[in-house]
Structure 1
């Protein structure tokens, strides 16, 4: 089974290794549209499109985070505080990955591990306060108790009044050996996910009895990554399903870690495309088990770095990976992304793109050596720091992330609509050798005449530098392996900054059918002419509904289809507000269908799975010979071998046909056919949402 080496156990005392067009149901003034772009293939240029009306969520105060560790003697250096502040780091996680499950806060000890002087909880909180960040604290599950955690909450928030809000219960507890590989300390005799769930409930109750305002987080496995989907001997389900079935209403957030299983820095960069699907699957699990509570449960990615086999940690590819992975996670609903690590320690020394890579998973040097090769001076920023600092230059807490996209896979983009109406765009050239010139288009935003401010991190730059004057609001040339941030003021009297109404509140579904969805949302401020609901279609938007009140019903939606929408308010002068927080929903399947399909993943191993499918005919007519059609939700899914049926595929579309021995489906549910397959998944593995039996959309059952 796939497995990565652990980045968060100690190497040495001071280091750690650590869809279908939809009817427009209301007329509207058109959104701003881009000028026709030249064909990139003909011009050799890349088109970047940013749609300021397609909102992806709000940047929170804890968005950019970093891990700290009690074995790091430099964790509280004043220079570290300055570097955190300069990069906009707003969350600091403590006491350090797997160390969390051997660490006792009251006496600053970690039996079996090294604790550096001056790294106790109060010293850490000094760094937190000085940097203006918030702590993300990990209660000791491995060798601790609910009472010990409650005492820590009392000391932090009652005795010291630190206001520590976020508390995880343990680190990577699924790594306690229950699935065969064990790196996480866990002294419980019962190491099953059921036991972890029982303890999470106990920890949450004890900690909230001391301070009801604390937010409690449970550890989940990342979908599509080991050990996701594995059912251990004697268990009734895998880790995520077992834990969430028990604690979904007891926790306030869930914590996942992501280390792509790749061999090079460029492969790690490419792997970021898996993140949206994997995070969407986490949210689907929360929706399944928490129901209406799901909206209040956050997702935290409390560790991320490129995989330890990539050979690119301190050099430029990992800086681009940091910017790309962190921003992608934030755009897909994560409220904090915490880089592993602040300091870590030198590992295998390699040369990447002409740069020395010290094999160090930290964002700052700790001055250690690997053989005869030593790192630069302590606290010298490595490439990931500059990637994260570029994100700090891109946005501030309260800014709105908006949709963007490019015509060339070697260039990626991310964008925010700032609180003051400015638009900032992050451009990454992921090619190690080719320069790219981009043409920028901004539906929903009109740039003013002034040249944009430009900040850049490119080969030859001494960190993130001011490069204003090197780009215009419509064009920029990107050096190889570079990160560029453009910030533009809006043309006076245009865009959401000209609107006299506020941003509508987050929409929610009040009823979901096979073809209709009812929505409601909190009213906004100002004299609203009407509210408009837009669906995101990449970097374009489509009007789905309009209302003079704070609710509407969307019609003519295909069964089993997924949609992401924003609500915008239009004032009496015709100006549109900023987009609301996004809402993603999936329509149902027809209750009155003449067939049903039950699809169940029975086991998995991170990048593969076994699925069982049961098909029933509820209609009055006999079926003799059948086909079942469905589409994979994710590009990385496949059916590789099968039984009791024949399967063919073209792209993401799958067709299943009966065997000679199970062609008959008796009417009125007289019998069912059962087939299965072994599948593969490169990333997320969500279940298909709609199945068609001989062309009829079936009701999907659990």
Structure 2
């Protein structure tokens, strides 16, 4: 019997509960905490001076080309190398007294979700990528006998900060979401404010409750070498939290009063000081925004120098993971209404962005480095309530298409923006103030995917595919259909898989068993996951 498709984009909009039964084959060993810790975090009263829970935030997700919208801040006049040297001497004395961790990755707790490649200080050059076989016109094809690489669990992450809160009523959904990477403090808040010890403590409690790998950004704009080093010392030496992933600053090209030369010098001074405190940390940067892999469009400083090129030239020997941000809409400062066709088409840009970034890394450093997209969503502004805004069901379909493409391109870290936001703050959050948003339901679904990516191609217009072998030996096939009408899709599954029964899952819906024939009907604007047993 041919499976019918009753699900549609409307079911995403109406779904109010997470998918049950997510599978985490290797949860982070050092990220476990009781529900009591989680409850103590989310019910904390606001701090009188800093408003930790409901602090009003004025986000600035500006288009790079818009000078009038750039952040106007007062950056310190420079970082003294002498100051840095004195501070490093002080840290060395502290190490002699037993206060600093040994320069050994095993001196800190390790997460089983962490890709081991990131721990190498000198990543080896990868072979040139093998061309993917051409797609068969009008058909989706999967060949489980051709393994293409690993899907990083850290791809399924998000952002969180003191400007946000996980409501008490949504703590079960937050824990069931399967978020594997939690970047903090996310957005420009970290360059406008100093992180306090209680911020770190509360954040670590949340990361542990979610089972997410923590990642912290030190303040650059208004910060200092000493403050950056102290942040690492408190987090990993005094408290022993074992945070591995660290970055410096956020979207520096929007500071407005800093060029690439100054930024790269200060980034290096801070990064070296942080690594002097804990040599095992993994450095992520430069977190520039609106990167598209096109020199004609990518951000430049006032002297016309490309931010990414200059960063890689200056710090390519020190950074461990090269990171970017991207928000395709709106393209102007006006109240732009994004059509569904334009929204869905924009997901395709990731097929060129990541290869372009890898080529740029090779050109400037002579080696390969892991890549990360540490902030992304469809909109940089506070749009809500529209047909294609970040809180819409269409955004969920778009997000699935983007993450599918990132996985196919081997992105190591992905952090959607953001975990939670109230409607008055913006529609980015996977959680709102009282409910989950449509895109939330993708993340429990992603946890049902395997980690060993196999060959998959789509010759069907508006259908993208990602296939992977699971740890239990089953095959997972994710299909994202952005067409506005239901479509019959021919499927070819090579490798010897049972087609009756097949488990079928869609975001926010109960699993069902179907008998898979030569074609599968995909609902309009839908995300479908098939899980097949070996014959």
TM-score, normalising length: structure 1 = 0.53
- Give 1:16 shift: 5.8
Distance 1:436 1:425 in 2: 17
Distance 1:408 1:347 in 2: 39
8 Å CA contact 2:295–2:306 kept in 1: the answer is: no
Q: Does 1:97 align with 2:97?
A: no
Q: Does 1:423 align with 2:423?
A: no
Aligned to 1:213: 280
Aligned residue among 293, 299, 302 for 2:374: 302
Relative to 1, partners in 2 of residues 1:55 and 1:257: Cα closer, same or farther, differing over 3 Å?
Answer: farther
Distance 1:50 1:384 in 2: 26
- Give 1:141 shift: 0.7
- Give 1:84 shift: 3.7
Q: Does 1:145 align with 2:224?
A: yes
Aligned to 1:648: none
Relative to 1, partners in 2 of residues 1:381 and 1:147: Cα closer, same or farther, differing over 3 Å?
Answer: same
Aligned to 1:241: 309
Aligned residue among 292, 296, 302 for 1:223: 292
Aligned to 1:166: 245
Aligned residue among 253, 256, 273 for 1:177: 256
Relative to 1, partners in 2 of residues 1:318 and 1:206: Cα closer, same or farther, differing over 3 Å?
Answer: same
Q: Does 1:381 align with 2:436?
A: yes
Distance 2:469 2:310 in 1: 39
Distance 2:163 2:371 in 1: 27
- Give 1:227 shift: 8.7
1:607-628 deviation per Cα after TM superposition (whole angstroms, max 9, x unaligned): xxxxxxxxxxxxxxxxxxxxxx
Distance 1:193 1:447 in 2: 53
1:171-199 deviation per Cα after TM superposition (whole angstroms, max 9, x unaligned): 10111125xxxxxxxxxxxx111111111
Aligned residue among 422, 428, 435 for 1:345: 422
Distance 2:251 2:202 in 1: 25
8 Å CA contact 1:415–1:424 kept in 2: the answer is: yes
Q: Does 1:466 align with 2:491?
A: no
Aligned to 1:413: 465
8 Å CA contact 2:260–2:301 kept in 1: the answer is: no
- Give 1:232 shift: 3.8
Aligned to 1:49: 141
Distance 2:248 2:448 in 1: 32
- Give 1:347 shift: 5.5
Relative to 1, partners in 2 of residues 1:85 and 1:230: Cα closer, same or farther, differing over 3 Å?
Answer: closer
Aligned to 2:77: none
Relative to 1, partners in 2 of residues 1:137 and 1:266: Cα closer, same or farther, differing over 3 Å?
Answer: farther
Distance 2:265 2:531 in 1: 49
- Give 1:448 shift: 2.6
- Give 1:473 shift: 6.4
Aligned to 1:255: 323
- Give 1:226 shift: 9.4
- Give 1:128 shift: 0.6
Higher radius of gyration, 1 or 2:
1
Relative to 1, partners in 2 of residues 1:50 and 1:347: Cα closer, same or farther, differing over 3 Å?
Answer: farther
8 Å CA contact 1:401–1:415 kept in 2: the answer is: yes
Structure (1 or 2) with the greater strand fraction: 1
Aligned to 1:69: 161
8 Å CA contact 2:505–2:528 kept in 1: the answer is: yes
8 Å CA contact 1:343–1:365 kept in 2: the answer is: yes
8 Å CA contact 2:389–2:395 kept in 1: the answer is: yes
Relative to 1, partners in 2 of residues 1:16 and 1:419: Cα closer, same or farther, differing over 3 Å?
Answer: farther
8 Å CA contact 2:453–2:467 kept in 1: the answer is: yes
Q: Does 1:195 align with 2:240?
A: no
Task: Find the residue that maps to 1:279 and give its secondary structure.
Answer: helix
Distance 1:79 1:255 in 2: 34
Relative to 1, partners in 2 of residues 1:284 and 1:402: Cα closer, same or farther, differing over 3 Å?
Answer: same
Distance 2:441 2:416 in 1: 12
Relative to 1, partners in 2 of residues 1:133 and 1:233: Cα closer, same or farther, differing over 3 Å?
Answer: closer
Aligned to 1:88: 178
8 Å CA contact 1:327–1:391 kept in 2: the answer is: no
8 Å CA contact 1:15–1:344 kept in 2: the answer is: no
8 Å CA contact 2:152–2:411 kept in 1: the answer is: no
Alignment of 1:487-636 (within 5 A): 487-491=531-535
- Give 1:224 shift: 4.5
- Give 1:14 shift: 4.6
Q: Which moved more, 1:134-143 or 1:282-291?
A: 282-291
If asked which structure has higher relative contact order (CA below 8 Å, sep 6+), I would say 2
Relative to 1, partners in 2 of residues 1:488 and 1:129: Cα closer, same or farther, differing over 3 Å?
Answer: same
Aligned residue among 356, 363, 369 for 1:281: 356
8 Å CA contact 1:253–1:298 kept in 2: the answer is: yes
Structure (1 or 2) with the greater helix fraction: 2
Task: Find the residue that maps to 2:447 and give its secondary structure.
Answer: helix
Aligned to 2:521: 477
Q: Which runs of 5+ in 1 are unaligned?
A: 1-9, 19-32, 41-46, 109-119, 179-190, 349-358, 367-377, 458-462, 492-702
Q: Does 1:330 align with 2:407?
A: yes
Aligned to 1:606: none
What RMSD in Å do the two structures reach over aligned CA positions? 2.7
- Give 1:482 shift: 1.6
8 Å CA contact 2:214–2:243 kept in 1: the answer is: yes
Relative to 1, partners in 2 of residues 1:422 and 1:257: Cα closer, same or farther, differing over 3 Å?
Answer: same
Distance 2:219 2:249 in 1: 5
